[in-house]
Structures are given as structure tokens and as C-alpha cells.
Amino acid sequence: MAKFGKKSNTTQDIPTAALPDIIFMLLFFFMVTTVLRETDILVKQKLPKAAQLSKLERKSLVSYIYIGEPKQSSLFGKEPKIQVNDVFVEVDEIIQFVNQEKDKLNEAERDQITMSLKVDVEAKMGIVSDVQQELREANARKILYSSVQSVDI
């Protein structure tokens, strides 16, 4: 039989002197490139509870419409208001909003836009149905109703 030679145990250490620099560079890169979408919600938002929820696939195709009583009711009154992009709008301005949101997307994604309605649980159905009608006229067929998970004990 042939004799096999023993391999010597050589270990090569990975240089870790530059590791903190690399980590800080990555951290700085992600801090610079991350875009946080932030909207000041001007209406009261107590979302209704739902028994079954589903997650969104692409949040970049979602535009939000908030409906509810204004937080500053002394300034804006007690009637439910419609908020889009940090401003209050009237029902007849919804079509213009949808068209502006579609213009932000490329041509292939315009038909995939989803309008998310975040409606306060205390809001009247009349204003919601008016918004739905305007969304139909604007050819925004995908409507999402935001809610929170109901907790069953």
C-alpha cells in the first residue's frame, strides 16, 4: 500500500483591520440611498377591523387616500374630509389626483396602480361611495381598503 503524506495544518487569518471601515461605508450607503415616504395624516384614522387580510406585492404602485374627520376640527370643521399627499381635496379633484399619480409611473405600470382607501371607522359611507365613483371615472379599478387585524382571544 501507498503511504499518504500528512498535510500540515495551515490556517490563514482573514484580515479584520478594515472591517469596521467597510461596515460604516455600507451603513452610510444605505442611509443615503434609502427613501422614506412620509405623509402627515391630517384626518383621524381609526381603521376598521378585518377577519382576513392580505399583503401588498408592490407598494410602489399604491397611492393612498385618507378619509375621516380632520384632526384640527376647530379649523376645518367636523365633516369628514378627503386627504391626498398632505392636502385636503374635494371629491371632484380625485380624478386629477389619480392622473397625477399615473403620470409618475412608467407606461407599463399605469394600469396596475392601486388606490388604497384608509377610511376612519366613523366616516359616513356617502363620501366613500363618492370617492369610489370618481375612481371609476378615473379608470382606477384596483381599490384596496386598509384595515387592521382583529384579535380573537
- Asked whether the predicted pLDDT for residue 75 surpasses 70, the reply is yes
Separation between Cα atoms, residue 130 and residue 136, nearest integer Å = 10
Residues of the chain by 3-state class (helix, strand, coil), percent to 5 = 35, 20, 45
Q: Quote the percentage of the chain above a pLDDT of 70.
A: 93
Pick the closest to residue 95 from 68, 123, 63, 56 (CA basis).
63
- Asked whether the predicted pLDDT for residue 2 surpasses 80, the reply is no
Q: Which pLDDT score is estimated for 85?
A: 85
Write phi, then psi, for 73 (nearest 5 degrees).
-65, -25
Grade residue 53 by pLDDT with cuts at 50, 70 and 90: confident
Q: Report the predicted TM-score, pTM, of the whole model to 2 decimal places.
A: 0.73
- Asked whether the predicted pLDDT for residue 153 surpasses 60, the reply is no
The CATH fold of domain 61-149 = Nucleotidyltransferase; domain 5 (3.30.420)
Predicted confidence (pLDDT) per residue in 113-133, tens digit: 999 999 999 999 999 999 999
Separation between Cα atoms, residue 90 and residue 133, nearest integer Å = 13
Q: Which pLDDT score is estimated for 152?
A: 64
